[in-house]
Amino acid sequence: MIEVLKSEGKAIGMKVNGKLVHADYEKFVPMLEEIIEKHGSFRCYCEMTEFAGMSAHAVWDEIKFDIKHCGQIERCAVVGEKHSHEWMTKVGNMFFPKATMKYFDVSEKDAAWEWITEGLSSAGSCGCSCSE
Tens-digit pLDDT profile for residues 69-127 = 988 999 999 998 776 655 566 555 555 666 788 989 999 999 999 999 999 975 444 44
What is the 3-class SS of 14-31, one letter each residue? EEEEEEECHHHHHHHHHH
In 3D space, the residue among 90, 4, 88 whose CA is nearest the CA of residue 47 turns out to be: 4
Using pLDDT thresholds of 50, 70 and 90, give the confidence band for residue 41: very high
Per CATH, the number for 2-117 is: 3.40.50.10600
What does the radius of gyration of the chain's CA atoms come to, in whole angstroms?
14
Residues above pLDDT 70, as percent of the chain: 80
In 3D space, the residue among 80, 66, 59, 79 whose CA is nearest the CA of residue 32 turns out to be: 66
Helix ranges (DSSP H) in the chain: 22-39, 56-69, 83-95, 109-117
**Cross-strand bridge partners of residue 73:** 42
Average pLDDT of the chain, as a whole number: 84
In 3D space, the residue among 50, 58, 65 whose CA is nearest the CA of residue 16 turns out to be: 50
